A and B are shown apart, each in its own frame.
Chain A
Amino acid sequence: MLLVLMASFIGSFGAVFLKLGAERLRYGLRHIVSWQAFTGVVLFLISSGFFYKGIKIGELSVLYPMLSLGYVWTLLWSRLFFREPVTAPKFLALGLILSGIVLINLGAR
C-alpha cells in the first residue's frame, strides 16, 4: 500500500513536468523533446515501478483505485506551482476521492 502511495506521489510530479514540457510546445512541435518532458516520462516510469512492486503482493481491486490519490496530489501541485485556483468543485472532488479510498481500504482483506 505504501508502494502505491509512493507511485501516485511520484506520478503526480511526472504530470507537473509534462505540463512544463507541454508549455514549450507553443514554440513548435519539435519542442516535444525537452528535458522537462523527458523528466516527466522518467518519473512516470519510476512511479509505475513502485506500482508494479505494490500489486505483486496486494489486491488489485484495492490498490488500483488508490492511484486516484494522484488526482489529489496533482490538485495540490497545480495550486502550488501553477497558481491554479482551488474552486469549490475541486475541493468536493478531493473530498470524494479521499473518502472513496478510505471506503475501499475498509473493505480490503
Chain B
Amino acid sequence: MISSASALPQQQHKPFTRLQSIALVFICTILGAVAQILMKTGSAQVPRFDVILILSNLPSLAGYALYGLNTLLLMLALRDGELSLLYPVIALTYVWVTMLSVYFFHEVMNPWKICGIAVIMAGVTVLGRAGTK
C-alpha cells in the first residue's frame, strides 16, 4: 500500500520572509506588553477572583483578548521563522513591560532589576540558539 502521508493534501502557505517574521514578532512583543498592563490594571479593579467579574471588567477582558491574539500571531510568526533570530526579539517584551510598569504603576527601577532583565534576555537568546542546532 502506498504511504498515506504522501496522499494527504499538503497545507499550502507562503512562508514569511525573514524581515516579515521579525516585524510580526516585534509587533507581538508590544501587544504582549500592553496586554500585561491591561491585566494588571484590570486585576486591581476587580474586587475578588471571580470569572464573571473578570470577564465583565473592560481592561481585564481587553488584556486577555490581546494576550490571546498575541499568542496566535506569535505561533504564526514562529512557524517558519528562525528561532535563534526571533527569541531575542521576543525577549524585548521584558523591556517593554518594565518600562510601562514604571510609567503606569510608578514601580521603582534599580540596577538589580535592570541587570536581572538583561541576564534573562541573554538566557532566552541562548535558548533560541540552542533550539536551532
Whether B127 contacts A90 by the Cβ 8 Å rule is yes
Question: Do A60 and B105 contact each other (CB < 8 Å), given the known contacts A52-B39, A55-B40, A107-B112?
Answer: yes
Whether A55 contacts B43 by the Cβ 8 Å rule is yes
CB distance from B126 to the nearest CB of A (A): 4
Nearest CB in chain B to that of A29: its residue: B11
CB distance from A83 to the nearest CB of B (A): 16
Size of interface on B: residues with Cβ below 8 Å to A: 45
Size of interface on A: residues with Cβ below 8 Å to B: 38
Whether B49 contacts A100 by the Cβ 8 Å rule is no
Contacts of A96 in B (CB 8 A): 119-120, 122-123, 126
Jot down 5 A-B pairs with beta carbons below 8 A, ordered by A.
A55-B36, A87-B130, A93-B126, A96-B122, A100-B117
Residues of B within 8 A of A (CB): 5, 8, 11, 36-37, 39-40, 42-44, 46, 49, 54, 60, 64, 67, 94, 97-98, 101-102, 105, 107-124, 126-127, 129-130, 133
Residues of A within 8 A of B (CB): 26, 28-29, 48-49, 51-53, 55-56, 59-62, 64-65, 68, 71, 87, 89-90, 92-97, 99-109
